[in-house]
Chain A
Amino acid sequence: MTPFTYHSPATLDEASALLLESPDARVIAGGMTLIPTLKQGLARVDRLIDLAGIEALYGIETRGNTLRIGAMTRHHDVATSPLVLARLPGLATLAKGIGDFQVRNRGTIGGSVANNDPAADYPAALLALGATVITNRRQIAAEAFFTGMFGTALEEGELIAAVAFPADIRCAYAKFANPVSGYAMAGTFVALAEGGVRVAVTGAGPGVFRSTLHEAALRERLHPDAARSVPLPEDGMISDFHATAAYRAHLVSVMTARALEELLS
């Protein structure tokens, strides 16, 4: 790890200005991804900008039909929030299944969404629920925000302030966690949104995606068996020493069925 200066701004605008000062400047939220990455030498930082002191980034609130979750809200807070439990319980379940106790006590929704790890849990919820990412500059629909493995629509100096979810949508999440890392080998978020059922998948492909095959099958028949029998092609699935592409494709159908079972119960 190379030396860096440390900054603790009080506003998002200040953080953004600091970020633009150097190509190697980075913001830190919970540090649960950034610090391991720095230790491994996979990233370099010369200015570390801590978002922890920015009050406006904390908290969960409802505004009409949306549930707004501040970027610095920790996974533990989402998992235990009475608001989330009442209005989007599927999202609370997802947060409760991220990493472990200590990771949930530090890791944040903003960091997870900005990082867009292909096996991260939150991106599936954002995509299935049609959430909006609110930055210091604009609002970005989830569909446009995630742009493939570790890719996002965030521009230079652009930071996530919050994520806005439509509330009161019946939804559920099921993940098949890698027994070692806890990350999803396939995780499926199913939402009964206004426009119909939406199925978003993480962990199985090179980035979060909507499974239109499952959505079509469930439009025909909203039943776990319908999801289970979808033969998702293995093309485009990740294949590594944990699981083959065919295995992951199969897992997606099983996880979709499990999420739906949960949702309909």
Chain B
Amino acid sequence: MSREPTSRVEIEVNGQIVAHDVPNRTLLVDFLRDVLDLTGTHTGCDTSQCGACTVHLDGIAIKSCTIFAVQAHDKVVTTIEGLDPDGRHPLQTCFQECHALQCGFCTPGMIMAAASLLNVVPEPDAEDVREALEGNLCRCTGYQPIVEAVLRASKELAQ
């Protein structure tokens, strides 16, 4: 193949429409990080396991390392940067208060997966939270504080 085939990709990212020509094999996570400079979304395992790259596609948690940017054309993507303009979303403050992170690498993915759960199950129990975060790996916390943080945030959001 002489020239790398590209596509015009138009996506609403964090409330703003962006349009770029990118090679078709560009993964969404690389589009977000390298083209848009939204480096809050992390590439962890790059094998669809760890969930560090979790973002919302039309409001639903997905792994952005396992979708091409062109597949998100005409859709709405929310990253950790778009969750709250001041970085003070209840999930973010509760993660801090509950010590739900140490190195912080998995945190954006954890929070985006949890936010997606709270969109559909506003008052989850611990079991719901553990189930929703099954696709997110953390090597620091042992998960307990993460579950607590999500439960606390759900209560704050419900008020």
Contact = CB atoms under 8 A, between A and B. Distances in A.
Contact count band on B: 20 to 34
22 contacts: A1-B25, A2-B1, A2-B25, A3-B4, A4-B24, A5-B24, A6-B7, A6-B24, A28-B71, A31-B66, A32-B48, A35-B66, A35-B67, A36-B48, A39-B47, A48-B24, A101-B132, A101-B133, A102-B61, A105-B62, A105-B116, A106-B67
A32 B47 CA distance: 10
Contacts of B47: 36, 39
A226 interface: no
B113 interface: yes
Contact of A101 (B24, B71, B135): B135
Interface string A103-125: 10110000000000000000000
A141 interface: no
B131 interface: yes
A52 interface: yes
A102 B54 contact: yes
A3 B25 contact: yes
B46 to A, nearest CB: 7
Given A4-B24, A36-B47, A101 B68 contact: no
A157 interface: no
Contacts of B23: 3
* A2, A46, A48, A100: most-surrounded residue (chain B CB, <10 A): A100
A106 B70 contact: no
Contacts, number: 75
Interface string A6-49: 10000000000000000000001001100110010000001010
Contacts of A31: 66-68, 71
B71 A50 contact: yes
B108 interface: no
Given A31-B66, A32-B48, A52-B71, A103 B25 contact: no
Contacts of A52: 71
* A3, A4, A6, A28: most-surrounded residue (chain B CB, <10 A): A6
Given A3-B5, A31-B66, 16 more contacts: A3-B1, A4-B5, A4-B25, A6-B68, A31-B71, A35-B27, A46-B1, A100-B134, A100-B135, A101-B61, A101-B131, A102-B61, A105-B60, A105-B116, A106-B66, A182-B134
Interface string B84-113: 000000000000000000000000000001
B117 interface: yes
Interface in A143-188: 182
A204 to B, nearest CB: 23
B71 A3 contact: no
Nearest to B24: A6
A103 B24 CA distance: 22
A206 interface: no
* A101, A105, A106: most-surrounded residue (chain B CB, <10 A): A101
